[in-house]
Amino acid sequence: MGNSTLYEDLIKGYDKQLDHSGVSGDRIAKRLHALSEIGYTEPGGVKRPGLSHEEKQAKELVKSWMEEAGLTVKEDGAGNVFGSLPGQSEGPAIASGSHVDSVPNGGNFDGPLGVLSALEVAEAWKEFGFVPEKPYEVVIFSDEEGSRFNSGLTGSRAMTGNMTDMEMKQLRDYDGKDLAQVLKSYGSSLEAFRESTRDLSELELFAEVHIEQGKILEQKDQPVGIVSGIAGPAWMEVKFSGQAGHAGNTPMAGRTDSLVAAGEFVSRLPELPQAISETAVATVGKLDVSPNGINVIPEQVVLHVDARDIHKEPRDLLVERIRSLASEVAEKHRVTVSMQQNTSITPVPIADELQHELAELLTKQGIEPVRIPSGAGHDAMIVGRHIPVAMLFVRSKDGISHNPKEWSSLSDCIHGVHALKSFIESRMAKA
């Protein structure tokens, strides 16, 4: 899908009956198109790495729209942008937003849709001269995707104080630049980055709209769904060690083939998650064999397991079952095994009360409430460690994301805006 036709492709087939309550499909389509031109890649995608010139340019454009909508705009030392609207009463704000950075050759909806949906709520209020009960903030987080440093969610981690000095020092980008150098070229500094940690008592709730990155809504034929929780990944390095030998001269009996052991481990791994939880998953996505010769019995296999669930207890139980399976397989094939857990991020379940509220609001919109676990990480996952969060997914064609073919129809996107607006107004009315 070429960038030159993104607006036309979005507006084509749009259900104009969804233009009500101050929400404009045309405005969202034009803004998605305008952002798609920043960092445009030839297949119709975008390349906007975190803390890059392109990400900054996209933020500056959204900041101008925020100001037009009557928001007071600030940017912190991590590059996070906050557009604030005062409420009838003072106190903690309700916030919504996402990010505008992308993976290399990414799509036009992952991130920008959440930012523009949050901004559209403020635009709709402005059209009717509506002043919300409580303060409202539209947020753009820096470097969510992590394509710059191979370590994402940088802006939300900075805002919540979830990044240590050691982590800051270890970051290196694709050009070998450290965080201080990257921040300097962006127009900030390491000192300002550290000072971007925020008093989170200023925020009551954070809501994020995002494309689904899966096919459940498509299968259920619903435009919008409710995220039931955000999975926390546990990454494990599993190393099987046997003995190398000549593939032709070593009899089958008595071999200690590390790849045979690893092969059984990989083939049995999918049985584990479904025995523990409906939302648990486990994947081997990387595997290294050595010596990796066509006529050599593999001496060592190092593989990496990604285990996830939206609840911590079953996720940790899954990790233990993976350890047991690795030990069992190693003993059976007379090889040794060592295991190391490199990453363990706490999952963030979404409060039942918020899910129920979203379900009632979607039902009023004529949408069947579908609850979906998010296997991917989001800024809401980081923020959700500190304050309540809610998430809405918008239907994604063929479940494609991080790809120029990423696509959500404009009608589905606007259904998402209406759901977000209703939810925020509902939360505003609560004491």
pLDDT at 51 over 80: yes
What pLDDT is attached to residue 331? 98
pLDDT at 2 over 50: no
What pLDDT is attached to residue 5? 86
pLDDT at 396 over 80: yes
pLDDT tens digits for 95-113?
999 999 999 999 999 999 9
pLDDT at 150 over 80: no
Task: Please state the three-class secondary structure of the chain as a single string.
Answer: CCHHHHHHHHHCCCCHHHCCCCCCHHHHHHHHHHHHCCCECCCCCECCCCCCHHHHHHHHHHHHHHHHCCCEEEECCCCCEEEEECCCCCCCEEEEEEECCCCCCECCCCCHHHHHHHHHHHHHHHHHCCCCCCCEEEEEECCCCCCCCCCCCHHHHHHHCCCCHHHHHHCECCCCCEHHHHHHHHCCCHHHHHCCCCCHHHEEEEEEEEECCCCHHHHHCCCEEEEEEECEEEEEEEEEECCCCECCCCCCCCCCCHHHHHHHHHHHCCHHHHCCCCCCEEEEEEEEEECCCCCECCCEEEEEEEEEECCHHHHHHHHHHHHHHHHHHHHHCCCEEEEEEEEECCCEECCHHHHHHHHHHHHHCCCCCCEEEECCCCHHHHHCCCCCEEEEEECCHHHCCCCCCCCCCHHHHHHHHHHHHHHHHHHHCCC
What pLDDT is attached to residue 147? 84
Residues making up the binding site:
99, 110, 145, 210, 402
**Domains of the chain, CATH where assigned:** 3-231+347-428 (3.40.630.10), 232-344 (3.30.70.360)
Q: What is the mean pLDDT of residues 368-374?
A: 95
Residues making up the binding site for Zn(2+):
99, 110, 145, 210, 402
Q: What is the mean pLDDT of residues 227-251?
A: 94
User: Mean pLDDT score of the chain, rounded to an integer?
Assistant: 95
pLDDT at 213 over 70: yes
Q: What is the mean pLDDT of residues 402-427?
A: 97
What pLDDT is attached to residue 149? 86
Of the candidate ranges 78-92, 163-177, 316-330, the one whose mean pLDDT is the lowest:
163-177
pLDDT tens digits for 350-365?
999 999 999 999 999 9
What pLDDT is attached to residue 119? 98
pLDDT at 4 over 60: no
What pLDDT is attached to residue 1? 42
Q: Kindly state the percentage of the chain with pLDDT values over 70.
A: 99
